[in-house]
Amino acid sequence: MRITNSSNIWEQQTVLNNFTEQETEAYYDNQDSIYSSFWDPDGSVHWGYFDGTTGNDFLKACANLNDTMIKRGQIDQESNVLDLGCGNGTTALSMYEELGCNVVGVDLSGVRIDNANTALSKRLDDAQEKVAFEKASATELPFEDGAFSHVWSQATLYHVHDQEDALKEAYRVLEDGGTFVFDDLLKPQPNISPSAQKHVYERLLFDTKYNFETYQKELESIGFKILDAVDLSDHLKMSYWCLSIMTRNRGGEHAEHYEELSESYEQTAQAVVNREVGWGLFVCQK
């Protein structure tokens, strides 16, 4: 993994992560049972949006992120949503159950798509008409131009090698006037300490050329109009403090792994404080 030192990351057009899609796929296939054991028993793996309604409760904050994105993205019963990087399908299914909208989820991990389809098969017939899951990469979506009213994505796009390609695909599959609502990790500045390199970038198999401002410039250059952009870095920090506590001194089958994760989560929270990683929420219109 290359550590970049230039002061202008926007000019570093070649900064792409050095991991292959196959490595990311294998990572999520293999780590699924560990994540499900402590993050969210329902299988979702994203960060939380904390406010007066959640207090310090991590899972409430994760559910609150869903509610916030639904509201800001104006998703309702009539919506036809693509969930990019749907993981185990938890959010896609709860979005359908809450709103009654159509949802298609795609993910690179075959294990997670199998889990999503198993969860779907246990739902009533109506869900099976309105919800579907398919294994596919965000950079090559198996859908026609303009197929969706909304593209939704949580905690996924930082993994994609060529993020620009994925953003262009999101634009392509949206109908005119459609909404792209998503969160993604950011690199606020380019000087990354060895600790953040190890515990954030290498652990999560990613790198990015975008900070909060340059991400928006990229979206605009693709053709999106930015409706809303929120720097959620403080919520990322809080999420990792919570995760660090949730995995600390946790016994059982994965005890050794939890110990390493707890240390990495603490270092990740510290990396947010040091502005070595950030988190943004964007709502854009085609």
Ligand X SMILES: C[S@@+](CC[C@H](N)C(=O)[O-])C[C@H]1O[C@@H](n2cnc3c(N)ncnc32)[C@H](O)[C@@H]1O
Which positions touch ligand X (CB under 6 A)?
21, 24, 28, 44-46, 85-87, 90-91, 106-109, 112, 137-139, 154-156, 159-160
Bridge partner list, 281? 183, 230
Cα(227)–Cα(286) distance, integer angstroms: 10
| CA 212 to the chain's CA centroid | 16
Minimum separation from the CB atom of position 7 to ligand X (A): 29
* Other beta carbons within 10 Å of 110: 12
Taking the least distance from each CB to ligand X, the nearer of 166 and 238 is: 166
Minimum separation from the CB atom of position 132 to ligand X (A): 15
Cα(19)–Cα(221) distance, integer angstroms: 26
Cα(71)–Cα(255) distance, integer angstroms: 38
Taking the least distance from each CB to ligand X, the nearer of 109 and 179 is: 109
Q: Tokens for 177?
A: 């006037």
Taking the least distance from each CB to ligand X, the nearer of 93 and 192 is: 93
Residue 73's alpha-carbon distances to 148, 212, 260, in angstroms, are 13, 19, 36
Cα(65)–Cα(29) distance, integer angstroms: 24
How many CA atoms within 13 Å lie on the side-chain side of 274? 16
Minimum separation from the CB atom of position 83 to ligand X (A): 7
Taking the least distance from each CB to ligand X, the nearer of 182 and 215 is: 182
Cα Rg, the chain, nearest whole Å: 18
Minimum separation from the CB atom of position 170 to ligand X (A): 11
Minimum separation from the CB atom of position 8 to ligand X (A): 27
Q: Phi and psi of 26, rounded to 5°? A: -65, -40
Taking the least distance from each CB to ligand X, the nearer of 23 and 126 is: 23
Taking the least distance from each CB to ligand X, the nearer of 154 and 208 is: 154
Minimum separation from the CB atom of position 22 to ligand X (A): 11
Burial 247-270 (b: 16+ CB within 10 A, else e): beebeeebeebbeebbebbbbbbb
Minimum separation from the CB atom of position 141 to ligand X (A): 9
Taking the least distance from each CB to ligand X, the nearer of 36 and 102 is: 36
- Check residue 282 and report its DSSP letter: E
